[in-house]
């Protein structure tokens, strides 16, 4: 139902997503239907919105890149934003829920109130990646995490989908 809200609040917005995401929406796996991951009533709503499909990694506009990162879903994508001062940020969405998934060696986590707590790093045999249970294709997901880590060595530039440290912050 989120999609219905988006259509209502942003009627002139352009909604950009990966081609593979559209294909997966039209033909979800049985496990997706059972869990209710894809509300099929959204398809008609999307068809009436200003939707644009892209394929793979694309420079969408100057300073804004879309990066295909499958695994969570077939068409998961991250957004790379170039800041004015030259730094690049990755908006990871659900490809990486929290930094500690992609950067399992981290020993601290910042909470919503700014407090920092100690956390147990991922075991070395996991290649310092804390695997996620919210993944449909584990091979694709690991490749996506390796891609992210190779492009963003410093985790502070990776803004994750569920990072408590994002509350009340500006980047």
Structure confidence at residue 38 (pLDDT): 66
What is the spatial distance between Cα 4 and Cα 157, in angstroms, rounded to a whole number? 31
Structure confidence at residue 1 (pLDDT): 42
**In this predicted model, what pLDDT tens digit does every residue of 123-152 receive, in sequence order?**
888 878 887 778 889 999 999 999 999 999
In the numeric block, the tokens 């295909």 are attached to 68
Return the bridge partners of 91, or none: 79, 159
CB burial of 38-75 (b: ≥16 within 10 Å; e: otherwise) equals beeebeebbeebeeeebeeeeeeeeeebbbbbbbbbbb
Low pLDDT (below 50) residues in the chain: 1-2
What residue ranges define each of the domains in the chain, with the CATH number in brackets?
1-54 (no CATH), 56-164 (3.60.15.10)
Structure confidence at residue 23 (pLDDT): 87
Q: Which residues contact 9 (CB under 8 A, 6 or more apart)?
A: none
What is the spatial distance between Cα 56 and Cα 103, in angstroms, rounded to a whole number? 24
Quick check: helix, strand or coil at residue 68? strand
């Amino acid at each position: 139902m989120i999609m219905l809200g988006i259509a209502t609040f942003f009627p002139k917005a352009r909604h950009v997503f990966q081609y593979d995401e559209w294909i997966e929406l039209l033909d979800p796996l049985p496990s997706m239907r059972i869990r209710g991951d894809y509300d099929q009533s959204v398809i008609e709503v999307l068809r009436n919105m200003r939707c644009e499909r892209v394929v793979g990694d694309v420079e969408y506009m100057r300073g804004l890149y879309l990066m295909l990162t499958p695994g969570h879903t077939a068409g998961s994508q991250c957004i790379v934003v170039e800041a004015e001062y030259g730094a690049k940020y990755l908006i990871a969405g659900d490809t990486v829920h929290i930094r500690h998934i992609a950067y399992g060696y981290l020993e601290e986590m910042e909470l919503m109130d700014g407090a920092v707590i100690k956390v147990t790093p991922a075991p070395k045999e996991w290649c310092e990646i804390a695997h996620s249970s919210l993944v449909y294709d584990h091979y694709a997901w690991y490749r996506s995490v390796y891609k992210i880590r190779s492009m963003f060595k410093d985790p502070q530039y990776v803004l994750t989908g569920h990072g408590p440290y994002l509350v009340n912050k500006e980047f």
